């Protein structure tokens, strides 16, 4: 993940610096165009100058600085305050030289200044680098210098000053918005990359270590004796490892969930001697209705464990919060559900699973997935969108088969 650094002009992201480079390159093209206009204008009227030689010097300065500025602004490391001040100083010098070159008679005819529209380049450079305050501030300075070079300002003069102020403000504000948008996009890409890496690591842990720990726990409980203690320890380590994997999302730059009730805190009230509830350190927040419905669905899962898995069965509840979805896994070490049993219950009019679990998840726009097999325990995975109001999702299918190949785990 690239490290965010503070640049000399206040930029905090390389992408924003590149975007600023693009704007300065566009300004370099504009600077050449207005410089060419100033040169053509001054060449066409040099015979009217009171001091033609000084006029040619000023024209040379305009051309030279146009080339130097285009090169200097192209690299972020050279875009310092010194460069900006020097740009303004050169512009001010060409304006202040106008009365000396043109003379009072020429200015009385409302002749254009020596740099003419070229002065806008310095204003836009400040606007791009310092935002609208810099652009407007330098536009005011340049306007004051322009007025000082004239004997009688006209309506055209005031119109040009208005356009200069407007250009400094609009370009500066737009440059700020572009920089913020580019930084936000870069941050979103970093978050996506971090979440993708976390998901990859979580899958690797889930498919390997967690499943082995779940298998040791179940087999230890079946064997009894010292093996039962080993199974208990494996179960504790599985719970701790799940919490560690899920807790990494807080340091991976995950997008925060909407404000609301903490799902982990609500489900923690269901914990008991045989029910373990685990979740991330950070709150997993959902709207109150979603928390209530998920809590009711989990309670229904635990009721089924107590009714059908036996008094000694244990259950584990794991809460996982992500940027796009929230998942709750309810797993037990009971005898599991025989194939066709749920379908037979629905046919007999018993709607506990469909109504209390799947129905609630579907109403929240989520889905409930069941993985079970005889003698292999039962696992429910309840998933809802992190941001509610996305519509009703299709119900996830019921999975069954050999749990020997896939131990019951989230």
Q: What's the pLDDT score for residue 4?
A: 40
Of residues 85, 98, 205, the one with CA closest to residue 134: 85
Distance between CA 262 and CA 260 in Å, rounded?
Answer: 7
Measure CA 294 to chain center. 29
Q: Are residues 316 and 179 in the same domain?
A: no
Helices (H), 97-225: 98-108, 120-148, 155-205, 211-223
Instruction: Please state, in angstroms and rounded to a whole number, the distance separating the CA atoms of residues 52 and 46.
Output: 6
Asked, for residue 5, whether it belongs to a domain, the answer is no
Distance CA(15)–CA(254), nearest Å, equals 21
pLDDT computed for residue 68 by the predictor: 94
Q: What is the pLDDT of residue 393?
A: 39
* pTM of the predicted model as reported, rounded to 2 decimal places: 0.47
Give yes or no: residues 267 and 374 share one domain: yes
Same domain, 129 and 46: yes
Q: CB atoms < 10 A from the CB of 258, how many? A: 11
Q: Are residues 61 and 163 in the same domain?
A: yes
- What mean pLDDT do residues 4-30 have? 69
Same domain for 147 and 29: yes
Radius of gyration of the chain (CA): 36
CATH number at residue 376: 3.30.565.10
Which residue matches tokens 């965010």?
4
What is the extent of the structural domain holding 91? 14-187
Over range 182-198, report the average pLDDT. Answer: 76
Last residue of a domain, one of 187, 208, 234: 187
The model's pLDDT over 326-382, given as tens digits with 9 standing for 90+, comes to 999 999 888 877 666 666 555 554 445 656 788 888 889 999 988 887 777 888 899
| 355 in a structural domain | yes
- Checking if the pLDDT of 194 tops 70, the result is yes
The reply to whether 209 falls in a domain is no
| Residue carrying the six token digits 């409302």 | 110
Number of domains forming the structure of the chain: 2
| Separation of alpha carbons 324 and 79, rounded Å | 41
pLDDT at 324: 87
* Domain endpoint, select from 187, 207, 230: 187
* 210 domain residue, yes or no: no
Quick check: 396 pLDDT over 60? Answer: no
Segment 137-166 mean pLDDT: 86
> What is the per-residue pLDDT for 389?
57
Query: Stretch 217-237: mean pLDDT, rounded?
Result: 75
CB of 380 closer than 8 Å to CB of 368: yes
Tell me what pLDDT residue 252 has.
Answer: 42
Question: Would residue 104 count as lying in a domain?
Answer: yes
pLDDT at 371: 85
> Do 182 and 92 belong together in one domain?
yes
Tell me: do 373 and 284 sit in the same domain.
Answer: yes
* 264 within domain boundaries: yes
Residues 21 and 164 in one domain: yes
Whether 40 is covered by a domain: the verdict is yes
Residue 63 parent element (H or E): helix 52-72
At 149, give phi and psi (nearest 5°).
Answer: -85, -5
Handedness of CA 285, 286, 292, 293 (dihedral sign): negative
Structure tokens at 213: 């720990």
Residues 142 and 285 in one domain: no
Task: State the average pLDDT for the chain.
Answer: 78
Cα 34 to chain centroid, rounded: 39
Q: Which residue, 187, 210, 245, sits at the end of a domain? A: 187
Specify if 276 maps to a domain. yes
Q: How confident is the model at residue 209 (pLDDT cuts 50, 70, 90)?
A: low
Do β-strands 261-262 and 285-286 pair in parallel, antiparallel, or remain unpaired? antiparallel
Cα gap 307→318, rounded to integer Å: 21
53 lies in the same domain as 176? yes
Q: What share of the chain is helix, strand, coil (3-state, %, to 5)?
A: 65, 10, 25
Query: What pLDDT sits at residue 355?
Result: 62
Query: Max alpha carbon distance in the chain (Å)?
Result: 112
Report pLDDT digits (tens) over 68-124: 999 999 888 898 999 999 999 999 999 999 889 888 878 777 788 889 899 999 999
pLDDT at 323: 81
Q: Are residues 291 and 147 in the same domain?
A: no
Q: Minimum mean pLDDT among 43-57, 96-110, 385-399: which range?
A: 385-399
List strand residue ranges (DSSP E) for 235-377, in order: 261-262, 275-278, 285-286, 315-321, 325-332, 367-372
Query: Do residue 275 and residue 157 come from a single domain?
Result: no
């Amino acid at each position: 993940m690239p490290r965010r650094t503070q640049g000399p002009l206040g930029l905090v992201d390389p992408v924003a610096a590149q975007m600023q480079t693009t704007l300065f390159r566009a300004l370099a093209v504009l600077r050449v165009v207005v410089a060419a206009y100033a040169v053509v204008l001054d060449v066409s009227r040099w015979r009217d100058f009171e001091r033609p030689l000084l006029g040619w010097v000023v024209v040379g300065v305009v051309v030279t600085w146009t080339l130097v500025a285009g090169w200097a602004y192209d690299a972020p490391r050279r875009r310092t305050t010194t460069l900006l001040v020097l740009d303004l100083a050169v512009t001010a010098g060409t304006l202040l030289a106008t009365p000396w070159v043109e003379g009072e008679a020429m200015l009385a005819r409302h002749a254009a200044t020596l740099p003419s529209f070229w002065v806008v380049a310095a204003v836009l450079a400040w606007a791009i680098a310092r935002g609208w305050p810099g652009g407007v501030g330098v536009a005011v300075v340049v306007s004051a210098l322009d007025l000082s070079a004239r004997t009688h300002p006209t309506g055209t003069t005031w119109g040009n000053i208005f356009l200069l102020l407007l250009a400094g403000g609009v370009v500066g504000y737009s440059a700020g918005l572009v920089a913020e948008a580019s930084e936000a996009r870069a941050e979103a890409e970093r978050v996506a990359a971090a979440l993708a890496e976390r998901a990859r690591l979580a899958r690797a842990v889930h498919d390997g270590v967690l499943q082995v720990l779940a298998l040791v726990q179940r087999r230890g409980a079946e064997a009894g004796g010292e093996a039962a203690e080993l199974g208990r320890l494996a179960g504790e380590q599985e719970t701790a490892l799940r919490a560690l994997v899920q807790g990494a999302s807080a340091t991976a730059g995950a997008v925060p969930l909407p404000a609301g009730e903490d799902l982990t805190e609500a489900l923690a009230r269901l914990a008991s001697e045989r029910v373990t509830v685990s979740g991330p350190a950070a709150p997993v927040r959902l709207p109150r209705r979603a928390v209530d419905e998920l809590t009711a669905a989990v309670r229904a899962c635990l009721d089924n464990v107590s009714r059908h898995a036996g008094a000694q069965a244990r259950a584990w509840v794991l809460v996982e919060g992500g940027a796009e979805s929230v998942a709750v896994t309810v797993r037990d070490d009971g005898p599991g559900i025989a194939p066709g049993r749920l379908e037979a219950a629905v046919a007999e009019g018993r709607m506990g699973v469909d109504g209390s679990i799947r129905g609630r998840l579907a109403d929240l726009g989520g889905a409930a997935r069941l993985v079970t097999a005889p003698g292999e325990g039962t696992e429910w995975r309840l998933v809802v969108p992190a941001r509610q109001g996305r519509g009703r999702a299709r119900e996830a299918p019921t999975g069954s088969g050999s749990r020997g190949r896939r131990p019951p785990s989230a």
